[in-house]
Structure 1
Amino acid sequence: MPELPEVETVRRGLAPAMEGATLRELELRRTDLRFPFPDRLAELVAGKRILSLGRRAKYLLIDLEDDWTIIAHLGMSGSFRVEAEPTAETSGSFHHPRSKDEKHDHVVFHLMPEDGSLRVIYNDPRRFGFMHLWKRSALDAYPAFVGLGPEPTGNALDASYLASRFAGKSRPLKGTLLDQNVIAGLGNIYVCEALWRSHLSPRRSAGSLVTPGGRPKRELVALTDAIRAVIADAIAAGGSSLRDHIQADGSLGYFQHSFSVYDQEGEACRTPGCNSTVARIVQSGRSTFFCAGCQK
């Protein structure tokens, strides 16, 4: 499933094409994806100007006029691509190469920017993605957003905040960091990478990084910095193209070439001076990759 850097990469790729354009028509080529489309979705958004594209955790937010927001989730295999609207003169001419099998094109945003016409196509072979329509002024009440923790890209995530959430917790670090109520949008890949960068074992209890007085230990400061750095690096690399993730222009993300531990079982640890190899264990049904030699 695409994680936060992948969704942020998609947002940045779509923004130039979508922001400021009028949504002439939302074409729904089926009645549902993972869930049925909201009643009257196409009717309610037709003719609305797209004000901005945002993101909350792993959700893409398409903000429209009249206080509407389309909330989109990519699921396991969803992707967007931008094309020129086909016409008799330009049939087969696209801004970017076709990136997916067209039989899985389920939603088409027909756009009218200032300089012509475009279409943004949502493709999803497994149909685990979905789109909902919600009032922008009530986004905090959207069920998936209630209780979400801060973003790992914002200033709200710091060591003092994590200390307040970790204090007294015996739960392992890996599971704690995957809790979306602690940090929004942080997923399995980047938790593994951040723990390796900060030399912390995924088995270690979250509470062990907090002093008896509730202050963050130096290890927690290092972990916080590692989380922010790994997310920033992944966004800069365009995300990780595992399985079906692609960018809006059809190109691939490259952060997977920088994985230090994720999916590196049996490989030599990259920590200078460490002679151990990367191991894989299962925690709460999820694969965890780490180095037992230098992650304590």
Structure 2
Amino acid sequence: MGWFDGWFGSSTTTSDPLKSLDPKLREFLERESPVKIQQQIQEAEQAAAAAATKAAAAAEAAISAATTSQTSQQNSADAPTDSRPKVPKESLFQDGRYAHLWKTYRPYAEIEAESKTDHEKLMDVLDGYKERKHNIGRAALENCALQQEEWVNCMKSGSWEDRMQMCRHQVQRFEKCYTMQTRFLKALGYQSVYNRPAQVEEDIQMHADKLYQRMVEQEKAIEAAKQEGLPVPKFDLSIPGAAEMAPAIQPRPDLEKSWKEKLEQLPEEERAVEEAALRADLQAKAEVAKNVQKLWDEQEKEKQQRKAEGKATVMDRITGAFGSK
């Protein structure tokens, strides 16, 4: 064998230093030579790079497929929005769930309106007009809270002279504030539109207070000019925004004449505001009359329908008899 020759000094010479090695050892060294190890490393790196490329391509394909699926799902979710069953706003599930339970739903206000008598409908219209006047007074009181507080403090702990006069000056300031605030609120259309957002009404109330404060400053400037002997400054006394809300209803000649007589008794700086308030009141009354006439027309239509169907009531006959006379 090979290693015996090496031990006993074999004279065989060769240029291959590995020739004298054991064939198995030589085979092992050839298999594990650095060149082949580097080749194996390169092959492993190439295989890893190919695997990474395949993995990246697979991941990109998966992402693309997921994006396409998500887009299609979104489109499919957006597309049938109109085809979803509609539910009323009272439902907590606006996506159409339990729509079959809401098919026969009717708002309580609608049912209550149908069950009301003609007298109740008429009273609702009149109560709405009264409530508007009440709300205007309440808003004017809120805007005049400082003047009212001044009056109350004067009555509690005011000077002896003011209390002897029943706080006359404070009462006058409060009454003037309340009157002018009421006029501004009417002229600006406060509570003139049914079911208007509360924020809009609050903005109108704040704007009315701003106009009143501006009017007070103008009066102070006019008074100061008179005391100093200077020319009286001229101010724009019109109400911003009142022209756009000018009512289409024109007053009767006799009513317009009474308006002029009333306006002539007021100071010049208050006439424009009072006239705008009068016109706003006329518009509100015209709306009430329009609603009342609408109720009467509906009642007459229902009465004629019952008469045509042969279901006329005793009240229909009585009203018809008095109407024929």
Shorter-chain TM-score bucket reads under 0.3
Greater gyration radius? 2
- Give the TM-score normalised by structure 2: 0.19
> Relative contact order: is structure 1 or structure 2 higher (C-alpha 8 Å, sep ≥ 6)?
1
- Provide the TM-score with structure 1 as the length reference: 0.21
